[in-house]
Structure 1
Amino acid sequence: MNVHSSLGTGFLEAVYSEVLEIEFKKNNIPFEKEKKLEIFFNGEKLNKTYRVDFLCFNEIIIELKSVSFLHDNFSKQLQNYLKATNKKLGILINFGEKSLKYKRIINL
């Protein structure tokens, strides 16, 4: 990804988020940044909301990290976001490693 190859590692997540926002705009990718999503339990809307880093195409949750290792908890967190918000696809992106790492999470 252009963002990782241009910046490399070592920046805060907020920096990668801002640069990714620029790239989304440049490539005409519809998105909402720091989007609050409603949470449902057995079809009933809860008062609590989740705030995701990006919601693209109104369907894909993008979660960013800038850590040296993608722990399983990050994948589980994204899986919970997908289940609770009834979204089908999430992408976990880590800018903190030497090579860009990403993981596609599907809510079945």
Structure 2
Amino acid sequence: MHENQISFQVRKAAYEIHTDLGPGLLESVYETALEHELRQQGLRVARQVPMPMVYKGIHMETGYRLDLVVEGKVIIELKSVDALQEVHFKQLTTYLKLSGLKLGLLINFNVDRLKDHMHRRVNGLENDTAATA
């Protein structure tokens, strides 16, 4: 399955969750719900994926953790904050670079209208026809 197809499934599931639960819950609640919805769709989902990091020859077993990785191809970074900050976008961009994955979605559930708070970041993704989500 191509990254863009996975992205569509993730966004569809996020809308359903946001419609059912609304804003204002902890990030971990949305993470659990999204993992469940994606598994129900038959997608492989890994949660809180530790990513090792090497810096100047120093190997760190867990340099950072990815909220969700879908089908081993798409990183999902979830937030439940009043407003996304530039650091959240930079975090996802760095995760893509360090992991070698090509597509990431940053989703903030603590909003009234989810549509304007789902953002795509790409890292060399071919056939990327959707600039924003």
Report if TM-score (shorter chain) is over 0.5: yes
CA distance in 2, matches of 1:21, 1:57: 12
Residue in structure 1 matched with residue 45 of structure 2 by the alignment: 31
Equivalence map 1:50-61=2 (5 Å): 50-61=64-75
Runs of 5+ unmatched residues, structure 2 = 1-14, 125-133
CA distance in 2, matches of 1:41, 1:103: 29
Runs of 5+ unmatched residues, structure 1 = none
Query: Quick check: 1:77 aligned with 2:107?
Result: no
Equivalence map 1:9-48=2 (5 Å): 9-39=23-53, 46-47=59-60, 48=62
CA distance in 2, matches of 1:58, 1:29: 10
CA distance in 1, matches of 2:95, 2:67: 11
* Shift, 1:49, TM fit: 2.5
Aligned residues: 107
Where has structure 1 moved over 4 Å in runs of 4 or more? none
Structure with greater helix share of residues? 2
Q: Deviations over 1:47-105 (max 9, x none)?
A: 25220100111011100000111111100011011111211111001101111111000
